[in-house]
Structure 1
Amino acid sequence: MTTQDRTRDRLRDLRRSPNALAAHYTRFRVADRLLLSGHSHQAWPDVALAGQVEAFEDAARHVDDKWERAFARAEDVRAGYRALLDDPRGEIALAASTHDLVVRFLSGLDLAGRPRLLTTDGEFHTLRRQLARLAEEGVEVVRLPAEPADTLAERLAGELDDRTGAVLVSAVLFATSRIVPGLGDLARACERRGVELLVDVYHGLGALPVRLPEWGLETAWVTGGGYKYLQLGEGNCFLRLPPHADRMRPVVTGWFAEFGALADTARPDLVPYGRGAARFAGSTYDPTSHYRAARVLRFFAEQGLTPEFLRAVSLHQVSLLARCFDALDLPAEIATRDRDTPRERFGGFLALRSPRAGALREALAERGVLTDSRGEYLRFGPAPYLSDAQLAAAVEALGDAAHETRPP
C-alpha cells in the first residue's frame, strides 16, 4: 500500500461518524459538540489530564527537587517544536506566551541605532498592541497593508533601510487565513541589510508543515505556540533562535538566563547571559503546561498526526466547509469568502467576510456551534476529531443564523 493510499484510508476514518479520533477526546465531548473554534483553541486529548496529574504528583513527591523532572518535560516540548520546524539542532526558548518572548526579543534590538520597526496591519494582537505602544514612545513603526498577501514579503523587503532594526510578520495572517509566500526571499534581504526578521508561525503550525530549511528561514527568529492546532493548551509558546542569537543581550531578562552564564572577560561589569536558548529564559514558572504538552506531543506521534497528514486533513475539512458555505448561496452583504485564491494558499480555517461577523458568531453559539470572529471575519476552524457530518451541520446552522440576523 502506498503512502497516498494509507492517507486516503485514514482520512476516510476521520470523515465518518463517529470520527476515529473522537474517542480520545471524551473530556471535551467532541463527538457531541460542534467545536469549530479550532483556530482559536482546539480540544485537548484525554492524555492531557494525565500530564497535569503527573505534574502534581511530581511536585507532591519531590517538592523542590521536582525541577529536574520539570526541566526534562520542558526539553520534551523543545524537541517537539524542533521536529515540527524541521530544525533538529535549533535553540528553542520557552515561555507562557509569545508576548513574553517577543518583548524579550524587542528589548535586545539596537533601537537607538536602528529605531525603525517594519510590520503589517494584519498582525495578531501580541504585535499590534505592543508595537503601537512603542510607537507612542517614539519608536518608528511602519505598517504595510497585509493585503495582497501574495506580494507582502516582497513589499516588506522593498522597505528595508539602514535604520530598520527588525521586520515582524506572520507566516499565516490570523484574520484571513492567507499564507504569506516568499518569506525566504525576505529573510535573505534582511540578512544582507543586517535587519532581524521575526516570523510568527502560530497561526499555521499544526495545520500545515512549517519547514524552516525549505522556507529559507534558517536565519530568522521564529515564534509560535501550541494553544491552537497542536492541542497543547495554554502556556506552551516558543521562540526559535537563529545562529547569530548570541550577539543579542535582551534588556528584559529573567534570572534563569544566568544558568550556565559566562562573564564577558572584556567587560566583567556587564550582566552575564547563558548561551543559546538560555539567553532568553525567564524565571520561576508553572511547569504544568509542559507536562501536559509532552503527553499530547507523544499522543500525536502515536496517532501518526504528522504535519503532512494534518495538512491533508485540514485541506479536506476546510474545502468541505467552503463547499457547504457556497451551497447556502448567501448574499455577499451577509457573508462571502475569497473564491479567487486556491485553497492551498490558505491555512487551517475558513475565513468568511461579514459586516455582522460578531452577531453571526453569537447566533451560532446559541445553536451549539462554537466559532470565532475577528473584526469583519467569521472564522470556522475545524479539527481532526470532527466528522464530515459535524462540519456540514455547523454550516447548515450558519444558514439559519444568517436568516435570523438579516436586517428587515
Structure 2
Amino acid sequence: MTTLEGLRRTPNALAPHYSRFGVADRLLLTGHSHQAWPDVALVGQTEAFDDAAAAVDGKWDRAFARAERVREGYRRLLDDPGGEIALGTNTHELVVRLLSALDLRARPRLVTTDGEFHTLRRQLARLGEEGVDVVRVAADPAESLAERLAAAVDGRTSAVLVSAVLFETSRIVPHLGDLADTCQAREAELLVDAYHALGPVPLLVKESGLGNAWLVGGGYKYLQLGEGNCFLRLPPHSETLRPVVTGWFAEFSALTGGEEPEHVAYGPGAIRFAGATYDPTSHYRAARVLDFFERQKLTPSFLQRVYQHQTGLLARYFDDLGAPDELITRDRDTPRSAFGGFLALRTPHATRIQEALASRGVHTDSRGQYLRFGPAPYLSDNQLENSIAVLDEVLRNLS
C-alpha cells in the first residue's frame, strides 16, 4: 500500500512504476499540466492496437467497454454512482456541445470570471463578439467569488461558468454549492471546470452541493491518463436539453435505418452529448492507469494529503530563500489548504525564470506573471528541495 512516507523518501516508492518517463532522474515540476504516465499506460496502448488487429471493425465493443471503465473512474472520483458521464477528446468540444444546448436567444447572458482557462476564455470572448452578453466577474478575491457570481445571475442568464480551482493561482473557489442553489432557483445552468481539482482537491458531487451542476474536466493533468480523456458530468435535468452541435453517436442507440432527415433524435442520458467516431486508444490507456491508481490506493483523500505536503514543502523551501518580493513572491496570507496542486509564484520575470530553470533541468511553466511549480506523487522530498535550490541559483543570476 502506498504511504506518504514512502513517497517522501529517496527513492520514491512509486517512481519504479514510471521507468519510461525516468521520473527518479528528472525534476519534472509540470505536474499541474502534464504528469508522467505509469508504465502500464503503454500496455493499454498496445492492447488497443491488438484489438484492432484481431477484431478489425468488431473492435468497437471492446473499445466501448474501455470507455465505460473511464466513465466509472470519473464517477468514483466524483463520488457520483450512477452519474451520467459524456466523454470527449478535450473539454472544448464538450463545453461547445453544452453551450449549443442553451437558449441564448431568450437568455443571451453568460456569467464567468476573468480567471478562466483559455478553453472558456477564448470561446466566450468569441461569442461576445457575436452579441452574446458575457459578464466577467473578477476572480480575485477567490473567497467571495461564488457569492459575486451569484449576484450577477438574473433572468437573462443562461449559464454561469467557473473553475473549481483557478488555473493561474491554484486558489480553490469555495462555496460553489451555494452558487449552484442560486443558479437552480433562477433556472440558469452552472458549469464547473473541475480540471485542476480532480486529484489534488476532492470534488464530491453531493458533498459539494453540485448535484444539479454540470462538471467538466479531464485526465491529462493530475490523473496521468494522457490526452483524449475528458468528461462532462450531466445533472438530472439534462434530459430536457438538445445540443445543436451533435455527433451521430448521440443517436447511436436509436439508429434503425429509417431515420427522418428533418427530425434529430437523441439517445438517453449522457448519450445525447456524445460526439462521433474517435480514436479509442486513449481509453485503453486510461483504463490501465485508473486500475493502477486503485491498486496503489491513490484515492482523492490520499492524493490531497500528498499535494498539500508537497506544495507546502515547496512553499517553505521558497520562503527560506529570502528572495525580495519585488523580484518574486507568493501569497502568504492564504493557508495552503485553500490551494490546489501547484505552487504559484508571482514575478514579472516568469517566462525568463522558467526558461532558465529548463536549461538547468528543472521543468516548470508560466502563465502571465505566475511561475508554477507542479509536483506529483512520484517525486521525492529531495527532488523538490533540489528544484528550489536551482531556482535560488537562477534568481541570483537574475539579480
Instruction: Give the whole-Å Cα distance in 1 for the aligned partners of 2:253 and 2:330.
Output: 52
Alignment of 1:140-155 (within 5 A): 140-155=133-148
Deviation by residue 1:230-286 (Cα, 9 ceiling, x = unmatched): 0000000000000000111101000000122399xxx99531111111000000000
Give the secondary-structure state (helix, strand or coil) at the position aligned to 1:79.
Answer: helix
5+ residue gaps, structure 2, are none
Q: Which residue type is aligned with residue 163 of structure 1?
A: R
**Corresponding position: 1:114 with 2:127:** no
Instruction: Give the whole-Å Cα distance in 1 for the aligned partners of 2:150 and 2:255.
Output: 37
Give the secondary-structure state (helix, strand or coil) at the position aligned to 1:93.
Answer: strand
Contact 1:116 1:142 in 2 (8 A): yes
Q: From 299, 306, 311, give the equivalent of 2:304.
A: 311
Give the secondary-structure state (helix, strand or coil) at the position aligned to 1:199.
Answer: strand
Instruction: Give the whole-Å Cα distance in 1 for the aligned partners of 2:285 and 2:262.
Output: 40
Q: From 203, 225, 240, give the equivalent of 1:247.
A: 240
Alignment of 1:224-235 (within 5 A): 224-235=217-228
Shift of the alpha carbon at 1:405? 2.4
Give the secondary-structure state (helix, strand or coil) at the position aligned to 1:312.
Answer: helix
Contact 1:262 1:274 in 2 (8 A): no
Instruction: Give the whole-Å Cα distance in 2 for the aligned partners of 1:52 and 1:268.
Output: 38
Instruction: Give the whole-Å Cα distance in 2 for the aligned partners of 1:262 and 1:147.
Output: 49
**Corresponding position: 1:50 with 2:43:** yes
Aligned length: 396
Give the secondary-structure state (helix, strand or coil) at the position aligned to 1:290.
Answer: helix
Partner of 1:373: 366
Q: From 216, 222, 225, give the equivalent of 2:209.
A: 216
Q: From 89, 96, 101, give the equivalent of 2:89.
A: 96
Instruction: Give the whole-Å Cα distance in 1 for the aligned partners of 2:292 and 2:249.
Output: 30
Instruction: Give the whole-Å Cα distance in 2 for the aligned partners of 1:144 and 1:373.
Output: 23
Q: Which residue type is aligned with residue 142 of structure 2?
A: A
Partner of 1:3: none
Deviation by residue 1:160-199 (Cα, 9 ceiling, x = unmatched): 1000000000000000000000100000000000000000
Partner of 2:320: 327
Contact 1:208 1:348 in 2 (8 A): yes
Q: From 23, 27, 33, give the equivalent of 2:26.
A: 33
Instruction: Give the whole-Å Cα distance in 2 for the aligned partners of 1:68 and 1:341.
Output: 49
Instruction: Give the whole-Å Cα distance in 1 for the aligned partners of 2:113 and 2:202.
Output: 23
Contact 1:359 1:405 in 2 (8 A): no
Q: From 12, 21, 27, give the equivalent of 1:19.
A: 12
Shift of the alpha carbon at 1:11? 1.0
Instruction: Give the whole-Å Cα distance in 1 for the aligned partners of 2:29 and 2:76.
Output: 27
Instruction: Give the whole-Å Cα distance in 2 for the aligned partners of 1:333 and 1:290.
Output: 46
5+ residue gaps, structure 1, are 1-5
Q: From 183, 194, 202, give the equivalent of 1:190.
A: 183
Contact 1:352 1:379 in 2 (8 A): yes
Q: Percent identity?
A: 70
Q: Which residue type is aligned with residue 387 of structure 1?
A: S
Q: From 126, 132, 143, give the equivalent of 1:139.
A: 132
Partner of 1:60: 53
Q: Which residue type is aligned with residue 105 of structure 1?
A: L
Q: From 294, 302, 326, give the equivalent of 1:301.
A: 294
Contact 1:262 1:273 in 2 (8 A): no
**Corresponding position: 1:402 with 2:395:** yes
Q: Which residue type is aligned with residue 295 of structure 2?
A: E
Instruction: Give the whole-Å Cα distance in 2 for the aligned partners of 1:229 and 1:355.
Output: 27
Instruction: Give the whole-Å Cα distance in 2 for the aligned partners of 1:244 and 1:178.
Output: 30
Instruction: Give the whole-Å Cα distance in 2 for the aligned partners of 1:22 and 1:361.
Output: 24
Instruction: Give the whole-Å Cα distance in 2 for the aligned partners of 1:227 and 1:212.
Output: 21
Shift of the alpha carbon at 1:208? 1.6
Instruction: Give the whole-Å Cα distance in 1 for the aligned partners of 2:77 and 2:194.
Output: 11
Partner of 1:393: 386
Give the secondary-structure state (helix, strand or coil) at the position aligned to 2:207.
Answer: helix
Instruction: Give the whole-Å Cα distance in 2 for the aligned partners of 1:268 and 1:133.
Output: 30
Partner of 1:359: 352
Instruction: Give the whole-Å Cα distance in 1 for the aligned partners of 2:90 and 2:157.
Output: 26
Q: From 165, 170, 175, give the equivalent of 2:168.
A: 175
Instruction: Give the whole-Å Cα distance in 2 for the aligned partners of 1:268 and 1:384.
Output: 52
Q: TM-score, normalised by structure 1?
A: 0.96
Instruction: Give the whole-Å Cα distance in 1 for the aligned partners of 2:170 and 2:292.
Output: 27
Give the secondary-structure state (helix, strand or coil) at the position aligned to 1:249.
Answer: coil
Give the secondary-structure state (helix, strand or coil) at the position aligned to 1:157.
Answer: helix
Instruction: Give the whole-Å Cα distance in 2 for the aligned partners of 1:270 and 1:284.
Output: 21
Q: From 70, 83, 87, give the equivalent of 2:76.
A: 83
Q: Which residue type is aligned with residue 259 of structure 1?
A: F
Instruction: Give the whole-Å Cα distance in 1 for the aligned partners of 2:131 and 2:345.
Output: 37
Q: Which residue type is aligned with residue 54 of structure 1?
A: E
Deviates more, 1:335-344 or 1:252-261: 252-261
Q: Which residue type is aligned with residue 117 of structure 1?
A: L
Instruction: Give the whole-Å Cα distance in 1 for the aligned partners of 2:4 and 2:96.
Output: 40
Q: Which residue type is aligned with residue 358 of structure 2?
A: A
Partner of 1:346: 339
Instruction: Give the whole-Å Cα distance in 2 for the aligned partners of 1:188 and 1:276.
Output: 23
Give the secondary-structure state (helix, strand or coil) at the position aligned to 2:58.
Answer: helix
Alignment of 1:158-173 (within 5 A): 158-173=151-166
